[in-house]
Copies of this chain bind each other. A is one copy, B any other.
């Protein structure tokens, strides 16, 4: 057990990070036995989502199996990276077989994106080659966390403006009960603050003034401090839950929903009009079934801890006159 989503049997993770500016993408592969994929679900709760192949995950629709999920920076441009994931999966013989002739395979790759176009040259965005490279890098080793992959340009605590924000990132966590595991990989790019769910204290969020001291965004807003006008969609937390329990498609959707309760506990506020918060769920079926309410509690816990792991693994960034400190660096400051 490595404490991350790759503890889930059948799950691999790979990152691609731009060398040009803070952006990137991350792929979660669930190739399954004989390339059959994992049962998939999704729950979109933010008001400003950017997604691809989510409608097929509706339990009323046909296809059950997902072969990979892509998380990407670059806002809606980043959806193109899914093309590279499809190409890589085709080359590896993984996808929905739609016939016996060459090319008759369709990899199912749902995707969600987050907004990071305000950091550096907005013309640099993850494309198909980035998605392909993330697949090439994928393994069942514990994934790197912090400002890498889809979390490269993630920030948090923006309710009162970017000059008070801090670095977000991508993080992972897992929970095992008996022989069954639920893991989460979450790229945290929230409008809100990230809170330690054990102590209730903010660990990365809006700072007081331009110094390192944290304020509590919700408390400040409820005390009457006006938020800045924020571009719709200029935030967004996206992630993947995976379990090795067997699940029907409708239950996978509900597991993703349980993950959002973890987001609600770890991010304050969350699911706002300028967040496109989206969680996917994958069930590989390689471990014993578990009481579904317990599985949902595991999902909420894994998501919440993935969020705090994300911001704790982040590194401070100075770019274009903007200072975006990271939680770990502030803790080390005198």
| A291 to B47 Cα, complex, angstroms | 15
| A271 close to chain B: CB less than 8 A | yes
A177-207 CB mask vs B (1 if < 8 Å, else 0) is 1100000000000010000011110000000
10 pairs from A and B in contact (CB 8 Å cutoff): A175-B222, A177-B224, A222-B298, A258-B271, A261-B264, A264-B300, A265-B265, A268-B297, A272-B293, A273-B293
| A159 close to chain B: CB less than 8 A | yes
- Which residue of chain B lies nearest to A302 when distances are taken between CB atoms in the complex? B222
Contacts of A296 in B (CB 8 A): 269, 271-273
| A212 to B227 Cα, complex, angstroms | 44
List residues of A (252-285) whose CB comes within 8 Å of B's CBs: 254, 257-258, 260-261, 264-265, 268-274
**Contacting pair A293 B159 (CB below 8 A):** yes
| A18 to B58 Cα, complex, angstroms | 42
When A200-B198, A200-B199, A264-B264 are in contact, do A273 and B294 touch as well, CB less than 8 Å? Answer: no
Number of residues in A with C-beta < 8 Å to the partner?
A: 41
Contacts of A226 in B (CB 8 A): 291, 294
Which of B177, B260, B268 is close to A222, meaning CB atoms less than 8 Å apart? B177
| A116 close to chain B: CB less than 8 A | no
**Contacting pair B294 A227 (CB below 8 A):** yes
Least CB distance, A152 to chain B, in whole angstroms = 26
Least CB distance, A310 to chain B, in whole angstroms = 19
Least CB distance, A143 to chain B, in whole angstroms = 22
When A200-B200, A270-B261 are in contact, do A293 and B227 touch as well, CB less than 8 Å? Answer: yes
